[in-house]
Amino acid sequence: MELVRKTVSPDSEAVYEQAFAVRYDFPVYFTEHLFARDNPVFRQVMQRKEAGKRHRLVVFVDSNVSSSWPTLSHDIVTYAEAHGDAMELVGKPEIVPGGEHVKNDPALVTSLQKRLVELNIDRHSYVVGIGGGAFLDLVGFVAATTHRGIRHIRVPTTVLAQNDSGVGVKNGVNAFGMKNLLGSFAPPFAVLNDAAFIRTLHARDKIAGIAEAVKVSLIRDGKFFNWLEANAGALHECEQEAMSHMIRRCAELHMHQIAHGGDPFESGSARPLDYGHWSAHKLEALTAHEIRHGEAVAIGLALDTRYSVQIGMLPAGSEERVYKLLKKLGFYLWHPAMETRDEQGRLLLLRGIEEFREHLGGELTITLLRDLGRGEEVHQMDTNEILHAMTWLRRKETGQ
Ligand SMILES: NC(=O)c1ccc[n+]([C@@H]2O[C@H](COP(=O)([O-])OP(=O)(O)OC[C@H]3O[C@@H](n4cnc5c(N)ncnc54)[C@H](O)[C@@H]3O)[C@@H](O)[C@H]2O)c1
Ligand SMILES: [Zn+2]
């Protein structure tokens, strides 16, 4: 790489234009029973960069995963011993609280950072996180900020984390009443999706994660949308074959967007994967995170699809198909908090649009639908049309 010296007047001043590129690559494995002794995946991942070395690792486990899988810690210890030539487990796996509330607790961030220092985890060691999307957002943030970035391996254990958040490049925690305000772009070292974990997830969380598949199908892949419609019954029952296909296709589409969408670290104003999310993020905050991310996204999808029809972008009738699919999957598509008003009588949900813009800065950019399978960006939203879309949805769900 060459430094180009540009002379500006007067003669004593100069600008050196600095430029370099960093290549990122990480594998996303789909496997089952990751810590069964004879499963080579975890060992391969440890040795991906420096074969022949004995790698140090610390493992953090989401407490709800740990209680659903009581032998997990023991299995990890046994696996590490069996592959002791390739890895050294530093201490026993550490159980850390899981769920959205862990993203609201700054003390937890500090205590995990401190723990990494106590365990002498350096930048060539690994921090392995096993848990849901919220837990992985927290652990990813801790790994990215300690020593300015420790290698991080994600083992997502929810539908949403396996099909969306876990295969992405972002981490973060909530702060000052805003979701994901503090965080970074930090691609993981590897992602290991183990289908077995999904079995112990609550039905509510299994269904919630399917919302992200509906989302990505609507903006990118009409055929996948048709497949979701045809398999909605099996998905509602969380049948394994249908769930596996849904998770893989959804993960592929997210990975493709990140690698080939031209803006993996979101430096522009667009948020192409965040269809239906301006209202979803706000609704999560308005319900104090009582509603799941995926449940809020499902409501956001119904609203923005109806809105796309109302403003003439999307053929009429499409909103009914999306609504029916979401209902068949098992979503309830209304929440009274959507009508929370401030003292001046303004709907707080609408603040979500401005917060959505502020998150990336620049011009407001919202994805709407041109077709079922084709998103299109717009730069403004009409308040009256949003209110109409809300009325439409409220009537459908509550009859009023
Ligand atoms: N970083 C990103 O790019 C990105 C993208 C989308 C969403 N997200 C974030 O992901 C989070 C939502 O993730 P989520 O839907 O996985 O929810 P979650 O992490 O809150 O998990 C749901 C619940 O299931 C528990 N759990 C996890 N795995 C389990 C298992 N196998 N068996 C039993 N219980 C289990 C968790 O402890 C939690 O209580 C939100 O905070 C959202 O903002 C991040
Ligand atoms: Zn989402």
- Cβ of 200 below 6 Å from ligand 1: yes
Angle at 343 between CA 338 and CA 348, to 5 degrees: 25
Q: Which atom of ligand 1 is nearest to the CA of 169?
A: 3
Rounded-to-integer distance, Cα 334 and Cα 286, Å:
13
303 near 279, Cβ under 8 Å?
A: yes
Q: Is 187 in the pocket of ligand 1 (CB under 6 A)?
A: no
Ligand nearest to the CA of 103: 1
What is the spatial distance between Cα 205 and Cα 198, in angstroms, rounded to a whole number? 9
* 159 contacts 209 by C-beta, under 8 angstroms: yes
Here the tokens at position 258 are: 């990140």
pLDDT per residue rounded down to tens, the chain (400 residues): 556 666 566 677 899 999 999 999 999 999 999 999 999 999 999 999 999 899 999 999 999 999 999 999 999 999 999 999 999 999 999 999 999 999 999 999 999 999 999 999 999 999 999 999 999 999 999 999 999 999 999 999 999 999 999 999 999 999 987 888 999 999 999 999 999 999 999 999 999 999 999 999 999 999 999 999 999 999 999 999 999 999 999 999 999 999 999 999 988 878 888 999 999 999 999 999 899 999 999 999 999 999 999 999 999 999 999 999 999 999 999 999 999 999 999 999 999 999 888 888 888 999 999 999 999 999 999 999 999 999 999 999 999 9
Atom 19 of ligand 1 has which residue's CA nearest to it?
Answer: 132
Residue 131 CB–ligand 1 contact under 6 Å: yes
CA 351: distance to chain centroid?
Answer: 22
Q: Model's pTM, two decimal places? A: 0.94
- Ligand 1 binding pocket includes 158 (Cβ within 6 Å): yes
| Residue 320 main-chain phi, psi, to 5 deg | -70, -40
